[in-house]
Amino acid sequence: MEKNLPLINEGPRADALDKVTGKATYAAEHRVPNLAYGVFVCSTIAKGTIQSIDESVALKSEGVIDIISHKNCPSIPGYATQLPDGTRNPKQWWGMKVLHDNQVRFYGQPIALIVAETVEQANAASLLLKVSYQKETFETDFNLIRKDLSKAKPPSTYTRGNATNLEQAAVKVEGEFNIPIEVHSPMEPQATIAVWESEDKLTVYDKTQGPKATQGALARLFNIPDKNVRVIVNYVGGAFGNALRNWHNVPAACIAAKKINRPVKVVLTRPQMFNLTGYRPQSWQQLKIGADQSGKFVGIVHHAISNTSRYEEFREGIVNASRFLYACDFVETHYRILPLDVSTPTWMRGPGEATGCFALESSIDELSYTLNMDPVELRIKNFAEKNPESKLPWSSNYLKECYDKGRELINWNNRAQKPGSLQENGWLVGYGMANGVFGAGRSQASVRAILSADGNLVLQSAVSDMGPGTTTAMTKIAAENLVMPLNKISFKLGDSELPPGPTQGGSTTTSTLGTAVYLACETLKKSLCTLAVEYASAFKNMEASTLLVQNGGVSSTINKELFISNADLLKLANKPFLEITQDSQGTSAMELKHATNSFSSHFVKVLVNPKTFKVKIAEVVTTADAGKIISENTARSQMLGGVVGGVGMAILEELKFDHQTGAITNASFAGYQVPLHPDIPKTTVWFVNKPDPIINPIGAKGLGEIAFIGLAAAIANAVYNATGKRVKDLPITPEKIRAIKN
Amino acid sequence: MQKNCYNNGRRDFIRKASFTAALYAIPSALVHAVPIDLITPGPAPKERIKLLINGKEIAAEVDIRITLLDFLREQLGYTGTKKGCGMGHCGACIIHINGKRMNSCQTLAIHNKSNSIVTIEGVAKGEDLHPMQEAFIKCDAMQCGYCTPGQIMSGIACIRDGRAGSREEIQRYMAGNICRCGAYQNIVDAISQVKASGKTV
């Protein structure tokens, strides 16, 4: 059996110094001469047509350079639906074409961009714009509209096994689950600075999780070659999925900069961040699960509906985990999306699975009480030895180790099976747990490695790092591979001119980019060994394959005395540096003939006030099977962050609408509650830390999503254990707990 | 406004702050969403101000509407201080004004004549990091880093104000500093370690 590796906590986060000194430069912070500022004016109706925009007064306001709306927006190649020959434009902009037409699709949609010398001037002028609308009736109330299934898109369905299994099950539970809209709201607002270097050459400083993706999108928008667009993103101030695509600020800044022939910066305001950068869609789920007397699952039926916008279809994997996380012969899933007159949702941390696992893991917990069985034992009973959907063996699945360690660290023995039977200082005590799962994929990436004569290694790839610590992980992979000190290695990212790297998302960066770094190091070692044979007399006539690169030089496995430093070797070869560019191909589960997933198991202790039903999350133990942990300190921070996100989803976060107007009513950090310092319990992180032998040569699976998926259910399950009241509508508030009759 | 069991004082404060900002900043239709720099339409007078920033005397002519935060970031290029919301809710822009912590988005530049401002760029002594910066690195008290300068400035103030007596006390004092990545536990660790070290902050 594989051994749990020791955790290596060598070296701080690679960019920590820049971050603590204020030197880290985020998109809006680049100094660009002659900069103008763009500010959006947004619609005050939810649906209809802009009848008129009177900009005459606003244009005269001090400092105003231009006011851009559909009335005067230049013709943009990527906005055209058709090419001149009448065929469909294959390079059409993905998403809403801001400032393009007079249609209002949701409340708060940008309808004009005021461009001025300063933000203050643009803001002032924005109050002077007179807009009139032709209103139309609209639908924003998900809870109401979803009851009419004819309004939803046709379902995607999946079935395996025999439905009679579930009908005849000895024990069954069934429930409905509601999750409101949650918003990423990262601390750095979306920001774009657009600089046209010439008529067809664009430089953009942008908050994006994918510099190459943004480069391609803008090249298509303006019908210019990719190489004419340079995207720079040194730092990303959090994103959690909201910078996976380009929102209105990106084209608006580029269009404005082109129109006024000056660099333009557009930064979204915090209220706009709640409406214009995507969100986790609202969802309704119904889940039925049955088991035989021993607790073995005999059937799962999972229905889900989530909202999309009227102008785009957004789907995610809400029902997916129900098909494969546990062994179960009969499974049926149905998933529909429901268009509403709101902005388009997007992937938010743990997309789909976080929603689905709330229903699945809450239902399994409920079933455990019906069976009078420990909820961990019930999960062990239904452990899937292979993936029951694809029938492929797991590349690795150490969930059972997570269960053991989680129970030990949270003191699961103190839990009482009967709800409401434990108290501490007058508070009800409850313990709960739940699992998370997410696909562990690997896609294409390229990495350039430059080893210079001074012994320093620079790695480069066109990716960005929204906070998990990609730079740190990549340098650690190279340090381990080349057996060289961390401080000799740096990783350069954040520029689309570097070799193409993946968009950071879906818990794939370490696997994808890390593999490319690993392969680049392997190639570098081969080159060094070849150089040694060719140029270093001591290694003459030796087989390159018998040589070894470590500790900053080449040595021989045969004659242990022999050593030449990389610096001396490069000098002999008359090379100032050694440079290689390495491509790494992606791979799919089918190609690997294995199901590749990361797993997590979260354990929570809560205290609930028996009179007020206030919930205090007392302690969390979060465990993960994410393969080999490359960088312990940053991985641990990612897990801690997942817990904080889970606390938000479970007890705080909810975007609210006024369905009379279609407006969001809590679009600020005062109205939309996110976890704060005092909300955070003592949290312990534990990693299985065993390399996955299949997915890639570095043994790492993904971590970002599973850190979060399952937490809301673990908290809800603990609240049930404390009170005997199961809240199925998030967030769990005292009012909702009180309203449930035992 | 959402009712919630987590009424820890800060939320009361930010509700009141929004209300004040709204009164200040007019159109009632915009109540929930008015940054304070959205005030006066039309031409605005400029004023000359002089103030100390990180010990350096700065003289400038400013739009009377510009917040101290935007003055630092946009006019002077001190971008270490971050803009998270512009509404006094998130703490990313916390700096020290005459030794007291303050959300720099909640004060206008012209209200800071002759004030002594310290930003994140001014807490280290040359190459020597401030103990709080060192502790943040050691504890990995960050992920994306965007809230970090505000957390550090608040963390220093927490110890100076004598409010770092326990983890709970630190958490309460730091409640105005939002970290969306969720580095809270490590941030509290860092502040506790600096406090325990007895180092001068």
The first and second tokens of residue A276, run together, are 């214009």
| Alpha-carbon torsion angle A638, A640, A644, A647, nearest 10 | 120
A127/B27 CB distance under 8 A: yes
Using the predicted structure, report yes or no on whether residue B22 has a pLDDT greater than 80: no
Structural domain contains residue B40: no
Using the predicted structure, report yes or no on whether residue B11 has a pLDDT greater than 60: no
Structural domain contains residue B32: no
Confidence of residue A76 (pLDDT cuts 50, 70, 90): very high
What is the 3-state secondary structure of A361-412?
A: HHHHHHHHHHCCCCHHHHHHHCECCECCCCCCEECCCCHHHHHHHHHHHHCH
A12/B138 CB distance under 8 A: yes
Structural domain contains residue B77: yes
| Domain spanning A283-441+591-739: CATH 3.30.365.10 | yes
Structural domain contains residue B39: no
* DSSP character at residue A99: T
Last residue of a domain, one of B85, B104, B122: B122
What amino acid occupies position A521? C
Using the predicted structure, report yes or no on whether residue A358 has a pLDDT greater than 80: yes
Domain A442-587 CATH (choose: 3.90.950.10, 3.40.1390.10, 3.30.365.10, 3.40.50.720): 3.30.365.10
Q: List the single residue in A20, A187, A678 with the smallest CB-CB distance to B146.
A: A187
Structural domain contains residue B3: no
We report the CATH number of the domain holding residue B114 as 3.10.20.30
Task: Give me the residues of B, 121-160, that contact A with CB < 8 A.
Answer: 121, 124, 129, 133, 136-138, 140, 142-149, 152
User: Could you tell me which of A201, A284, A250, A237 has the C-alpha nearest to residue A93?
Assistant: A250
> What span, in angstroms and rounded, lies between the C-alpha atoms of A338 and A215?
32
Last residue of a domain, one of B78, B96, B122: B122
Structural domain contains residue B177: yes
- B50 in the same domain as B118: yes
The residues that bridge with B57 in the sheet, in sequence order, are B52
- B150 in the same domain as B86: no
- B100 in the same domain as B168: no
Domain A28-136+187-273 CATH (choose: 3.60.15.10, 3.40.50.620, 3.30.365.10, 3.30.70.270): 3.30.365.10
The pLDDT tens digits of the residues spanning A179-225 come to: 999 999 999 999 999 999 999 999 999 999 999 999 999 999 999 99
Q: Mean pLDDT across the stretch A604-610?
A: 98
Outline which parts of chain A fall under CATH 3.30.365.10.
28-136+187-273, 283-441+591-739, 442-587
The pLDDT tens digits of the residues spanning A614-629 come to: 999 999 999 999 999 9
Confidence of residue B9 (pLDDT cuts 50, 70, 90): very low
Q: Mean pLDDT across the stretch A37-43?
A: 98
CB contact, 8 Å: A704 with chain B? no
Q: Mean pLDDT across the stretch A574-593?
A: 93
Q: List the single residue in A186, A467, A669 with the smallest CB-CB distance to B89.
A: A669
Structural domain contains residue B4: no
CB contact, 8 Å: B18 with chain A? yes
- B114 in the same domain as B57: yes
Last residue of a domain, one of B65, B93, B122: B122
Q: Mean pLDDT across the stretch A481-506?
A: 94
- B118 in the same domain as B55: yes
Domain residues for the domain of B108 are 46-122
Task: Give me the residues of B, 100-119, that contact A with CB < 8 A.
Answer: 119
We report the CATH number of the domain holding residue B173 as 1.10.150.120
**Tally of structural domains, chain B:** 2
Confidence of residue A7 (pLDDT cuts 50, 70, 90): low
SS3 A63: coil
Residues of A in contact with B43 (CB under 8 A): 61-62
The pLDDT tens digits of the residues spanning A77-90 come to: 999 999 999 999 99
C-alpha distances (whole Å) from A138 to each of A278, A309, A662, A663, B200 are 19, 12, 8, 11, 60
Using the predicted structure, report yes or no on whether residue B1 has a pLDDT greater than 70: no
Structural domain contains residue B143: yes
Using the predicted structure, report yes or no on whether residue B49 has a pLDDT greater than 90: yes
